[in-house]
Structures are given as structure tokens and as C-alpha cells.
Amino acid sequence: MLFSNINGINKKKIVLFPHNNPDGDALGSSLALLFYFRKLKHDVDLISPTEYPESFQWLPGTEDILVFSKHTESLVKKKIVNSDYIFFIDFNNFSRINKIKNLILCSKAKKILIDHHPYPFCFDFMFSDPTVAATSILVFRFISDMNNLDKIDKKIATCLYVGLMTDTGFFRFPSVTSETHFIAGKLIEKGIDINSIYDHLQEKYNENRLKLLSKALKKLKIIKKYRTAYTSIKSSDINFDSYKPEDKEGIITYGLGIKNIVFSVLFFEEKEKFPIKISFRSKGNFDVNMFARKHFRGGGHRNAAGGTSEKNLYESIKYFLNIIPYYYKPLMFSI
């Protein structure tokens, strides 16, 4: 029914939403769908709930992204109200588009999820598979299920490949399977420039990012007994005049680079306000998604998750340190 409507001759009004501060997979998947639906001659808008990282500005189609803000609120509202279909891409929980949640919930449009996070909310149509490495795999499957693989051109392939690369840590994470490589191969056949994509995605350090990293590394604590590393960033560590959310990207992975450490945690205090944002990363079978859900109202994937704490930074860390002994066995035996 959905496929025949979208593949049909009637023009539909479609709105695509990635999550707040969209990453390479959310943005790549959304842009790929933007180009794809345009090819099917639909009227389609891509709305980002917040600014997207500058580092992705090179992606084709970013000039067409409508960023939600006070200035665009009434336009966004109009587009949502008039839409036939709203796609939610790379998230499964409305808390990740908090600013526009209420606008969306009022809309009568059919709501469609394309996402790889576990425990999704219920939508009208769900393309959800937590076993895959990236949402862009599900977008590829979605296009394939509609028998439209021939519609994937170089631009769509580039966007999907960025999703694959960023959510698999450049094809390194355990979630990578033969399907991931099969799809990568199909995208390469569309003529994408993998060297140039790699060059754009390579870790780029600006002054802010390095300063933040050095502050976080100075505070890095190791708890050998629990194979855990944690650190924190205080609002006073941040120069908010020039700070961008992507400046903290990658800081958390340093803890995991230490021999025998399987659990890395970053506490982040933004502008002395609550909640404190917490990122979790793990190696092996220690499930940070469960940990984040149980203790920090969060979620994510088995090896990468996030959450929040209403306590102040000091109390949040104290709470974490009180919990961690209960995980002695899973941390000790994580392989």
C-alpha cells in the first residue's frame, strides 16, 4: 500500500526528519531519500530539527535542508500540516526531535520510521532493524524493495555511502556484515568517489576541538577493576562563542583505546544547565544501550549509546560510580 502510493503517479507531499544535530548516517540517509523522492516526482522537504554539523556541508543537497528555528517555525508547521507522509530517519524516539515533537504529533500525515535503533515507538509504517550497522542500509533496502535500485545515482550513492562509513567507523565496528560490504559495493558501482568521501570524513581537528580534547584527557580516570574509563567536560571548559556540538565528537573513543578497557563514558555539561548529557561506548558484549536506558533515561545501540542526568555534573558522576560495581561481572567478562 505504502509502496504503491509512493511509486504511483500521484504527487505526494513528503517531509523527512533526521534527528537533532544529525550525524553522517541521519543526514546521508535523509539526503538520499530527498533525491530519491524527487526522482519519483514527489514534493519533498528535508527538515533538520537543529543545525547540522558544518563538516557535512559538502554533501550534495545540503543547500536544500530547511533548519528548524524561530524564523522557520511557521513554514515548518505549514509543511507538516500539509504533508501526506512524514519520515523519521535514524531515530526511534521523539525526544530526539524534542523541539518539533508537538507539531508532528498533531499532524494527520502517515508516519514512517526508517531506523536501526532498538525498541522503536509505534509508527504507521516501520522499517526498523536494530541488527544493521546503519540506517542507510535500511534506505537502500527500502529503495530495493520498491524495485527502484536503478534510481540510485551518484548523488544518492554518495549520501548512502557516507551513512555507511560514519556509522560503521569506516567499516570497523562489529555490526559490519557481508550485507554492509555488498551495499557498499553496489554504491561504488554508481561511480562515487570514495577517496574524496574519505577525505571529507577524515577526523578534522580545529583549535576548539583540540582544546576540549586536551581538557577531557587531563581529567580521564581509569577504574581498572571495572575496565572502565570516564571523563567529563564542564561548561567552563567550553568557549561557547565558537563551540559546535561536533567539537566533542570522538573524545569518548580515547578511553576505549586503552588496553583492557571495555567501557568509556563522557559526562558533558552544557552552559551550566541540566540535564547533563552522557555518552557511553563499549567494546565486546557489554551492552551500553541497556545501561543508558536503565540508569540515564537514554538508549542507543549495544556499543554506542547516550543518556541524560538531571543531577549536576558532580552528582551525576557520583551516581555513576555508585552503580558501576553492580556491573563487575559483565564488565569483567566482556569479550
299 binds ligand 5GP (CB under 6 A): yes
Question: CB of 133 within 8 A of CB of 303?
Answer: no
Given the rule CB under 6 A, which of 77-85, 190-198, 231-239, 292-300 is the region that contacts ligand 5GP?
292-300
User: What residues numbered 261-290 form the site for ligand 5GP, per CB under 6 A?
Assistant: 279
State yes or no: residue 298 binds ligand 5GP (CB under 6 A). yes
Q: Which stretch binds ligand 5GP (CB under 6 A): 98-106, 136-144, 256-264, 297-305?
A: 297-305
Cβ-proximal residues to 237 (8 Å cutoff; 6+ apart), any chain: 212, 215, 216
According to the binding rule CB under 6 A, does residue 180 interact with ligand 5GP?
A: no
Contact call for residues 234 and 313 (beta carbons, < 8 A):
yes
The yes or no reply on residue 112 touching ligand 5GP (CB under 6 A) is no
Cα–Cα dist 165/161, whole Å: 6
Decide if residue 232 touches ligand 5GP (CB under 6 A): no
Which one, 61 or 307, has the nearer CB to ligand 5GP? Answer: 307
- Phi first, then psi, for residue 268 (nearest 5°) are -130, 120
How many CB atoms lie under 10 A from the CB of residue 82?
Answer: 13
Which residue among 50, 55, 62, 93 contacts ligand 5GP (CB under 6 A)? 93
Judged by CB, which is closer to ligand 5GP: 142, or 291?
Answer: 291
CB of 305 to ligand 5GP, least distance (A): 4
Residue, CB closest to ligand 5GP: 306
Whichever of 28 and 299 has its CB closer to ligand 5GP, that residue is 299
**From 75-83, 103-111, 186-194, 293-301, span contacting ligand 5GP (CB under 6 A):** 293-301
The rounded distance, in Å, linking the Cα atoms of 88 and 214 is 36
Place of cell 549536576: 312
Our CA dihedral for 156, 162, 163, 164, rounded to 10 degrees, sits at 110
Q: Tell me: does residue 305 bind ligand 5GP (CB under 6 A).
A: yes
Q: Which range in 104-112, 140-148, 234-242, 295-303 contacts ligand 5GP by CB under 6 A?
A: 295-303
Residue pair 138/130 in contact by the 8 Å Cβ criterion: no
Q: To which H or E segment does residue 157 belong?
A: helix 154-167
One residue of 16, 261, 304, 324 binding ligand 5GP per CB under 6 A: 304
Is 49 a binding residue for ligand 5GP by CB under 6 A? The answer is: no
Piece of 50-58, 97-105, 230-238, 304-312 that binds ligand 5GP (CB under 6 A): 304-312
Measured at the alpha carbon of residue 158, what is the angle toward residues 155 and 164, in degrees to the nearest 5?
Answer: 145
Looking at 168-299, list the stretches that DSSP marks H as alpha helix, in order from N- to C-terminal side. 178-188, 194-201, 207-218, 253-256, 288-296
Q: How far is the CB of 307 from ligand 5GP (least distance, A)?
A: 5
306 binds ligand 5GP (CB under 6 A): yes
Q: Please tell me the distance from the alpha carbon of residue 167 to that of residue 257, in angstroms, as a whole number.
A: 18
CB-hemisphere CA count at 13 Å for 257? 7
* Residue carrying C-alpha cell 511509486: 7
The distance from CA 44 to its chain's CA centroid, rounded to whole angstroms, is: 21
Q: According to the binding rule CB under 6 A, does residue 308 interact with ligand 5GP? A: yes
Give the shortest CB-50-to-ligand 5GP separation in angstroms. 13
Contact residues for ligand 5GP, defined by CB under 6 A: 93, 95, 117, 279, 298-300, 304-308
